[in-house]
Amino acid sequence: MKEIKISNLNKEEKILYIIKENFPNLSSSILHKALRNKDIKVNGKRINNSNYSIKNNDLIQIYIEDSLLFGFPQDLHVQYEDENILIAYKPQGILSNNETKEQTEPTFEDFVKSKKGENIKICHRLDRNTSGLIIFSKNDFAYNLLFNAFKEGYIQKEYIAYVYGEFNNNKCHYENFLLKDEKSGTSKIYDKNVKNSQKIITDIYVKNVYKTKNYSILKVIIHTGKTHQIRALLSHLSHPIIGDSKYGKNEINKKFKKYKQMLFAIKYTFNFPKSSKLSYLNDISVCLNKDLYENKI
State the catalytic residue, choosing from 58, 110, 127, 244: 127
DSSP state string for 124-147: S---TT-EEEEEEESSHHHHHHHH
Burial class (CB in 10 A: 0-12, 13-18, 19+), 146: buried
Active site residue 39: no
Q: Helix crossing, 15-22 with 28-36: angle to 10°?
A: 130
Angle, CA of 185, 224 and 245, to the nearest 5°: 35
Q: What is the rounded distance in angstroms from the CA atom of residue 220 to the CA atom of residue 233?
A: 11
Residue type, 31: L
Q: How many residues does the chain have?
A: 297
Q: Mind telling me the catalytic residues?
A: 127
